[in-house]
Amino acid sequence: MGIKFRLSLLTFLQFAVWGCYLVSLGQYLGAAGLGTSIQWFYAVGGFVALFMPALMGAVADRFVPAQSLLALCHAGAALMMGLTWYYGYTHDHPDFAILFTLFAISEALFIPTVALCNSVSFALLKGAGHNPVEAFPSIRVWGTIGFVAAMWVVNSMWIDESGAMGFTISESSPHAMQRFQYTVMQLLAASVTGIVTALYAVTLPAVEVCRRKSISGDWRTWPVIGSLRLLGDMRLLPFFLFSMLIGVALQINNGYMAPFLTHFRGMPEFAATFGANNATLLSSLSQISEALWILPVGCVLARVGIKRTVSIAMLAWVVNFACFALGDTGRGLWLIIGAMLVYGIAFNFFNVAGALFIDRQAPASDKSAAQGLLMMMTKGVGASVGMLVAGAVVNRFCHWEMTADGQRCFMGDWSAAWWIFAIYCIVIAIAFILLFREPRSTSRSS
């Protein structure tokens, strides 16, 4: 097998782990009586992203081969996710502190694997004589395919008390509510997939570590702390600050899209609709959109510049949230589909364009640190704080209650919550358009 095929399979498995639970977790938490704490389970990934990727990256650079550390992190994360599943499986009403602690440890070990997977891919591609810039995009797309495939499996697969299993997307099936998307079994699926990924990572060619075996005493080289000095660069600071503010929107869809779609089960006129009963499968349209819209980002950035590209992303977030506010799983399904299709613009025109902009503007000696700081500001500070605030907003307007068929749904005024998110994005977009000044030079070499 060629190295590109092997790395494509690695990326497929890497993101399949995430796809098992990232979108559907809120539905299980609601059924388990922890629906008001959804935001904490989604925020924890951002909090550990503040330091774990940089820390594990430093370890991989200096002490442990990256492919070995990738396998160890996946194995540890899978073990903790398996314990999280077991605790939830044996407790119909799990204690928040115990379930959250187990899940948080799993996330702390899993989040660094995203960056480690990229590092392994880049190193092995270079070692095989490939140009990563040209070869990696076709490999990375398999990550999205793996994420979507896992979502479809979790949406449809069921296991009953006797151990029988199968697949269904039909609401009329007696196993409809036993599907993984509603139960703690989604965490078992993530654990098993993580173990497979760890075993596969062990088979990859070795990645050499740096000869330097210690971290320099110069604070500017320390993981996380050293990169913060880039906040003093006035060419980069404004973009970092706006990245943090718009990063608030990044996790809202993942955390609340599925509970929002499923709440239509509690309305007689929508209870039997496809979207209300297959929220995880329908949500996969967002990931498909993300894969499609990644291709034109570079062209748009080159033509209109970073300010207009990011402005388009911010306005796309507004459209995304507004469509959710107006849509339903009946005649308004086209609005929900529209929200998911525009998600690819909102996500890529901000994340991918931002990464390209930072790469061009950061000094040559600090490009990696600048990318780490961008992730820290968006997925760390922005997404984590944003999820906590979003949780407070949703819990203000919605509450979990039993429906006529005996299922727990997140009922309430969802439109009000979505409109608040949309208005926030409008305010940030206007501020960005008025205050951000695009640097005249598009690149800097030192």
In terms of domains, do 45 and 76 share one?
yes
DSSP state of 365: G
Rounded Cα distance between 77 and 372, Å, is: 22
Residue 71 domain-assigned?
yes
More confident residue, 438 or 319: 319
Q: What is the pLDDT of residue 214?
A: 47
Residue 206 domain-assigned?
yes
Mean pLDDT of 210-219: 48
Q: What is the pLDDT of residue 184?
A: 96
In terms of domains, do 231 and 330 share one?
yes
Please check whether residue 142 is in contact with residue 11, taking contact to mean a CB–CB distance below 8 angstroms.
yes
Q: Which of 342, 314, 313 is nearest to 327 (CA)?
A: 342
Pairing outcome for strands 157-159 and 165-167: antiparallel
pLDDT tens per residue across span 381-399: 888 888 999 999 999 999 9
pLDDT score of 342 more than 90:
yes
Mean pLDDT of 216-221: 50
Please check whether residue 375 is in contact with residue 317, taking contact to mean a CB–CB distance below 8 angstroms.
no
Q: What is the pLDDT of residue 393?
A: 95
E strand or H helix at 435, and its extent? Answer: helix 414-435
Q: What is the pLDDT of residue 442?
A: 47
Q: How far is CA 441 from CA 284, 366, 377, 437, 438, in A?
A: 39, 17, 23, 12, 9
Q: Which two tokens stand for residue 6?
A: 């092997």
Q: What is the pLDDT of residue 193?
A: 97
In a 10 Å sphere around its CB, with 0-12 CB exposed, 13-18 middle and 19+ buried, how is residue 362 labelled? Answer: buried
Residue 215 domain-assigned?
no
Residue 180 domain-assigned?
yes
Residue 329 domain-assigned?
yes
**Alpha helices, H only, 165-249:** 185-202, 237-246
pLDDT score of 402 more than 70:
yes
Q: Which residue has the tokens 């399904």?
A: 333
Mean pLDDT of 200-222: 65
pLDDT tens per residue across span 349-368: 888 788 778 777 777 655 55
In terms of domains, do 363 and 304 share one?
yes
In terms of domains, do 8 and 147 share one?
yes
Q: Which two tokens stand for residue 407?
A: 């299922």
In terms of domains, do 189 and 258 share one?
no
pLDDT tens per residue across span 238-261: 888 888 898 888 889 888 999 999
**197 contact partners, CB below 8 Å, separation of at least 6:** 10, 13, 14, 16, 17, 74, 78
Return the percentage of the chain with pLDDT > 70, whole number: 88
More confident residue, 270 or 360: 270
CATH code, domain with 346: 1.20.1250.20
Residue after which a domain boundary falls, among 189, 210, 231: 210
In terms of domains, do 276 and 154 share one?
no
Mean pLDDT of 73-97: 96
Mean pLDDT of 33-54: 86
In terms of domains, do 240 and 163 share one?
no
3-class DSSP assignment, residue 366: helix
Residue 216 domain-assigned?
no
Q: What is the pLDDT of residue 247?
A: 85
pLDDT tens per residue across span 55-83: 776 676 667 787 888 999 999 999 999 99
Mean pLDDT of 266-281: 91
**Alpha helices, H only, 63-209:** 66-90, 96-127, 132-156, 185-202
Mean pLDDT of 331-339: 96
More confident residue, 127 or 313: 313
pLDDT score of 38 more than 90:
yes
Q: What is the pLDDT of residue 80?
A: 97
Q: How many domains does the chain have?
A: 2
Mean pLDDT of 377-383: 83
In terms of domains, do 152 and 259 share one?
no
3-class DSSP assignment, residue 409: strand
Domain extent for 439: 221-446
Q: What is the pLDDT of residue 220?
A: 52
Mean pLDDT of 130-154: 86
* Mean per-residue pLDDT over the chain, rounded: 86
In a 10 Å sphere around its CB, with 0-12 CB exposed, 13-18 middle and 19+ buried, how is residue 161 labelled? Answer: exposed
